[in-house]
Amino acid sequence: MVKYPLGESFPCWKCEARHTPRAGLQELTVKWDCPECGASNYVAIDPIGFRIGQRLLLAGKDFLSREDYELAAIFLMSSVDATVGTGIRELTIARALQREQAPPPEDDIASRIARMNMGQRVKEYERLAGTSLQDEIQRLHSAGRIKAADLAGFARMKDEIERLGAERNRLVHLGEEVDAQVVRAGVESVVRAIELLETMYQAAFDVRRE
């Protein structure tokens, strides 16, 4: 089974040295031996920090490295779908609880998400998070977390994801081959988008806790 590095490092229980363990796409727990002191460690993967969208992204990168562009396109776009969908679900529930209301049934949330196209899902995500992708890009740039040289890539992010989505749809609905260049260009945009969506999600919960 192929194992991928997790998105964060964990401290060893014995010597506190931090290490980034690797996990298979289906694993919910991880065991590793500390490279510093050799102590055995065990951790349950955080479902917020390593959600299914990130797992699909890793799988998409894996298929891309094998030059399987069709499966790479499916998994990369599915990673965006999953991240946006999961965020809408969790933020919808959080906002209802914030207003001291009963959250809508999860089946109703899922049905509403299913009726939206990707553009509508992103707008709903932004509404629930209380900010937009563009505002988040500017905020991170002002904070020095996005370099000026990288801003052009962020500006192309939505367009490249839309092109990748169109390639995925042509493949799924028409059985046509995807454009390898579009898939290769899309992967970095997917990475940027998921990073931004995760940051917006976390910021929304930070505000809710204050």
Q: 27 CB contacts (<8 Å, ≥6 apart)?
A: 45
pTM greater than the 0.85 cutoff: no
Residue closest to 8 by CA, chosen among 55, 61, 46, 58: 46
| pLDDT score, position 5 | 63
For the chain, which residues score pLDDT lower than 50? Answer: 47-50, 207-210
Q: 55 CB contacts (<8 Å, ≥6 apart)?
A: 4, 25, 79
Q: What is the rounded distance in angstroms from the CA atom of residue 79 to the CA atom of residue 198?
A: 12
| pLDDT score, position 210 | 35
What are the extents of the domains in the chain?
4-44, 68-209
Q: What is the rounded distance in angstroms from the CA atom of residue 157 to the CA atom of residue 49?
A: 22
Q: DSSP 3-state assignment of 186?
A: helix
Q: What is the rounded distance in angstroms from the CA atom of residue 188 to the CA atom of residue 191?
A: 5
| pLDDT score, position 134 | 93
| pLDDT score, position 97 | 81
Exposure letters 138-151 (e unless 16+ CB within 10 A, then b): eebeeeeebeeeee
